[in-house]
Amino acid sequence: MTEIDANIDGLVPAWLTLPDIAEEFDLEVTRVRQLVKEGQLIAVRRGENRALHVPADFIKDGKIVKGLVGTLTLLRDDGFADEEMLEWLFTPDESLPGTPAQALRENRGTEVKRRAQALAV
C-alpha cells in the first residue's frame, strides 16, 4: 500500500474506500484488507486523512473485475510496483482503445493480459 502520486491520482477517474468495497461485496472490511494483502486489489493512501482507496474501475457488479487479478500478477512478475501498475492500467492506449482498466471492465481481458506479458520481454 503506497502513497499515491498526484499524476497517477489524476489518471484514475473514481476511487472507493475499503468500507465501500466491503459493503458492495457484503464482506467485513478485514476481508477486503486481506484481498489487498493477497494482491487481488491495489489500495493506495490518498486524501486528507490518507485513507486506503481502490480504483472504482476494479469493481463491477459486486465483484473484482474479471481478469484483474491475473493482470496484476503478470505486472508484479514483470517487476511493477503498485503505483506503476496503476499508471499502466489507467493510461489511455489508442491501439486498445481506451485504458487497460476499461478493457478489463468491458471483458477484453485477453488482450490486456497479452500486453502485460509482452512488457516482460
pLDDT at residue 8, as a whole number: 84
pLDDT at residue 2, as a whole number: 53
Rounded Cα distance, 99 and 56, in Å: 14
Low-confidence ranges of the chain (pLDDT < 70): 1-4, 121
pLDDT at residue 86, as a whole number: 96
Q: Strands (DSSP E) along 1-121, which ranges?
A: 2-3, 15-17, 44-46, 51-55, 59-60, 63-64
Rounded Cα distance, 81 and 77, in Å: 10
User: Phi then psi for 120, rounded to 5 degrees?
Assistant: -75, -20
pLDDT at residue 12, as a whole number: 94
* pLDDT, tens digit, 9 for 90 and up, residues 91-111: 999 999 999 999 999 999 999
pLDDT at residue 48, as a whole number: 81
pLDDT at residue 120, as a whole number: 73
